[in-house]
A = this chain, B = another copy of it.
């Protein structure tokens, strides 16, 4: 059976939710969204979402992390539900789609099932997880990580924001500290529809992606100490140039990627800065970040090891130079369930659409739920190289509808599995 959904209704819901926390972005001249978790704006977005869940006949349940669930009963209420979820919290300079497409897409599936009077075998649960972005309390995928048991409730509640405000207190303040147990009973399967946040689908001219997993991520902050010296008077052989060492690290990261020796490694130095930063002073200090991604944990481990070796080699080659590397973040590769991927790609084909299989470079709630249930994701193509975390973030109404149509058929089929 193939489901159809109402693309206009989906789009209207996306645009309506984007008004909550909207602001005029000076950099782009566009209307952006700032709905960081547990702020007043987030609370307003949550209330709107709960009213929509209720209107769609869902039984709403809020847990002790503020995760919001909406349950549509199946013909066998004792069967484990099929779940579709994402998040509605945003970064400070967001667009309308990141996270929201997954939550409102799932809602649209429920609305479409209601219109057609379809009862599935298994219950369907849709959800919005709290603080996926991690921009306010410093840990991303926070709500889903607690729900899946990786992070404890106590730890999460004690996290504080930049102003020292506690997560638990802010949850109370906005009225979303729910009574329900936070540990999620494993669903039968979990599907998340999300914008790609990258250029692969746009570059290939394909509207949809079936996500094979989330690659391993390693963030390091590297600090290089050299010796400040006058650019005009200090002979080259007497210099200990922190900026030069930093530049060599940047080039090395790219050489490692290009070598092919580390599988499908991606490497990025996003932040690089020298001090004191004067034209005529050899840098005394350089700071840089290295972001490595790899779909394979062994390749990742070897890349990290070899980069550390290169830092040691730089140090040995230049007496007086010190280099320290501090880990900022590390997650392992999360492969998604092949059965759920197959159900998704079959749905894409049955709808006469095109898709690619691809790895997710960014983190998503799905990677937490993957620890307790068969999980996969549907990616929707983004315009402008898939720019995200920016008001320019955009997916067309057609592509959004394609993604949610595939979500609908996928959920229907999973919910009828015995």
A residues engaging B (CB < 8 A)? 196-200, 203, 215, 217, 219, 221, 227-236, 238, 241, 243-244, 246-248, 250-251, 254, 257-258, 266, 268-274, 276-283, 286, 289, 291, 293, 328, 360-363, 385-388
Contacts and interface: CB of A to CB of B under 8 A. Distances in A.
Given A230-B386, A233-B199, A361-B233, A274 B274 contact: no
Contacts of A196: 233
A362 B233 contact: yes
A385 B237 CA distance: 13
A418 to B, nearest CB: 37
Contact of A266 (B232, B277, B388): B232
Indicate how many identical chains form the complex.
2
Given A244-B250, A385-B238, A230 B269 contact: no
B232 A360 contact: yes
B291 A199 contact: no
Contacts of A277: 270-273
A388 B279 contact: no
Contacts of A251: 244, 247-248, 251
Given A247-B247, A280-B291, A388 B198 contact: no
The DSSP consensus for interface residues of chain A is mixed
A270 B286 CA distance: 10
Nearest to A293: B232
Nearest to A390: B228
A271 B231 CA distance: 12
17 contacts: A197-B233, A198-B232, A198-B233, A199-B234, A203-B238, A217-B232, A219-B280, A228-B387, A231-B266, A236-B257, A241-B268, A243-B269, A244-B254, A246-B272, A251-B251, A268-B279, A279-B289
A199 B271 contact: no
B200 A235 contact: yes
B231 A291 contact: yes
Nearest to A249: B247
A282 B267 CA distance: 9
A271 B268 contact: no
A273 B270 contact: no
Contacts of A272: 243, 246-247, 272-274, 277, 283, 286
Which of A219, A227, A241, A279 gathers the greatest number of chain B CB atoms within 10 Å? A279
Nearest to A279: B289
A368 to B, nearest CB: 16
Contacts of A198: 229-230, 232-234
